[in-house]
Structure 1
Amino acid sequence: MAINSDIVSIRQGASAFDETNVLNETGHKNMLHLIHLRWLAVGGQIATILVATWGFGIQLPLFNMLAVMVCLIAFNIGSHLRWHEERVVSNRELFLAMLVDIASLTAQLYFTGGINNPFVFLFLLQVILSAVLLRAESTWLVVAITTLCLAFLSIVNKPLVWPLNSTYKLADLYATGLVICFVLNAALLVIFITRIGRNLRAGDAALASLRQRAAEEEHIVRMGLLASGAAHELGTPLATMSVVLGDWKRMPQFSKDPAMLEEIEEIEGQLLRCKSIVSGILLSAGETRGESSSKTSLNEFFESLVEEWESSRPAQYFEYTNSIDEEFTVAFDSTVKQMVFNVLDNALEVSPNWLRFEVSKNQEQLFLTVADQGPGFRADILEQVGTPYNSSKGRPGGGLGLFLVMNVARTLGGTLTVNNRKEGGAEVVIALPLNAMILQENKSP
């Protein structure tokens, strides 16, 4: 039981690790959005300085404003270089980045009239972004800091020097500035809040998918433990039956009866098959019965797999195609075989008259395709392929076959694709990474 609890703990740890990666990826994308927004801020400041200086003749402290802008540009370049390589972004780092933006805005407003500058309402943009990007305590801290900045600018600032011969009224320019500030705030909020919201929704969807996967894997662990326990329990009666059948074969009343001997040998054959199934269950659970994975060629493995499956199933017409010409040395365990058997068995159940199994590959993946001439999958079943108990057969416990196959394929780094054929019937394609299965001796140095 200690081993079983360790397995569950490892899976829980891996799930937590995956969730952390998703959160980090979301934070990284949000940091990139802030960097893009900062470049827009730099462009907006340059445009505002040019319009105010050349268009309205307002005297601005250009040296001080350009110094602030150069510092902001240097910070943004450094941020871009750092976060291009670093993928983990914490709430604290997002908060510090926003503080730099607030400090830059405060400095520019200080040199351009303080709270009398209509662009002072850009502080609202920082507050709204913090509410979306940061934790609650950090957001309230941003509210407090921006409030202090506004209070500071209302007391301490450098008044704008208005040209004496100006034909523009100050009130009209202030109203125009308010309109421009509103348009900027509205446009930037729509653009970036939409992007950030999409990013957060994608992160939430990824987290939900990971949690669903963790629940499915826990379900598989429990099924594996149940199967392993059942296999252990079956071992003793199977061994007893084998001994009894051996004794029967030596008994005179049976050894002299050819018909009875034939039936006993048939039972022994089925008993050996039961033992093989039990061994496969234990091997899949990581508890071998003196058997282990052995090196074989890719084509030889599938030839043996097809021969074993076909000899024990009542398929009327079974078509096997292998389009792989090269010979690769592989070391498959029984998991891959059981996965293919599961798909073939499901196809045989709905299409006993015709079945096709095709093995092919490209440069990166191995493709195992099973096609049948059954009724195919309903649309609602196709939408939820790979979820447990998702079956159209209507029997208790149904729908676990493809669920197990999908999780085994995913564990091996592959994928499962299910669709309906135009000719009728269904097609299941298992794609597995080729490089992960070929032994190193095949790969060029």
Structure 2
Amino acid sequence: MRLGGRLSAAIDILSDIETRHRPVAEALKDWGLSHRFAGSGDRAAIGNIVYDALRLKLSHQWLMQSEEPAALGFAVLLRQWGYTVEGLTAELEGDTFAPAAPGSDVFETFAARNLSEAPPHVQADLPEWLQSEFEKAFGEHWIPEAQGLNGRPPLDLRVNRLKANREKVLKALARTGAVPTEVAPDGIRVAPVEGAGRHPNVTAELSFAKGWFEVQDEGSQIAALLTGASGGQVLDYCAGGGGKTLALAASMGNKGQIHAYDADRHRLAPIVERLKRAGTRNVQVHDQAAQLEPLQWRCDHVLIDAPCTGTGTWRRRPDTKWRLTPETLAQRMAEQETVLEAAHRFVKPGGELVYVTCSLLPSENAGQVARFRERHPEFKPVEIAARWESTFGTALPAHADPENGMVTLTPATTATDGFFIAVMRRLS
């Protein structure tokens, strides 16, 4: 397919997402199934246009003065893919599958407008009702922090030190351009792709099949290491597919005992095969809350990767930004409170509770922790600065609250997905 056909397909998919209010991954999958002639390169390029359009949806619409999917598609090529109006017109000329271009007045408006004159939430490309949350989280820097969530993400991997070291995996993945991550000691990064490019399929590598590495964002790796577990009894209370469980097993060198639990059996199911491939020997998997009862007040570390709005993952899932509502936020906050109340019972005196979200909203993060501590004053913040420095050899990132044992990671400041981590110790 030429550019015109790819752009036309992306516009159709954007229309489908808008009219049917469906997830982008679902819409892309359905398009691919009904257009089997499209090659993998075509599907990747089309997906890139769609995702790019959703990442900068508000600012694209403001600059083009149009909410039409076609305007979004053309804005992507002009703003994010480096085309000029003249170059794009020439590229599409004679392409019978190319969509009709917006009128010349739209391109004139696009050229004349200055995004710095747009409303703040449009500059940030986030729903207006969330502006106050970002202002509370980041103060005067809230716009660049929000904008950091609008770029393409890298592909991050975690070396499984049970089977390999970073040098060995870097050598195996040399053709991908992989480099060490800045903070996580076992992290490896493949830079974000540009234009119609696509990330290498690392899960097809022999080194992946051997269990040498897992796909895991650097921020998630950092969160697992800040748990501070080196042995003893560890409970990963919302284990999901097992990313942090695997990271804990590797950092603990298969010592101690990790209990991986999730109330959602479908989310938990992949963990079994992942644990086997990784060579873990210190993990027990639980899919029923009753199985955890013997652990009450006995765990050295309890990790809660809590359900949340996922605002920190908007680079990877930009469609969720536009589907998020105040009602959804309230529901997630209620779920977080329930999980905290259930999980804290497993922390023994002197043990630690680690609360993690992939959200950047204070309501889900610092606010949630403050309310928990009010209910349970026996939990006190851990000295997070010393732990960070001893674990990673660097100073705390910009958005940290060492007095309250909290760290916030963001694409703009730590080049990771957005994560919030709070570490608390039970004194009695």
Same fold (TM over 0.5): no
Task: Indicate the TM-score class for this superposition, using the shorter chain for normalisation.
Answer: under 0.3
Q: TM-score, normalised by structure 1?
A: 0.25
Q: TM-score, normalised by structure 2?
A: 0.25
Instruction: Return the structure number with greater strand share.
Output: 2
Instruction: Return the structure number with greater helix share.
Output: 1
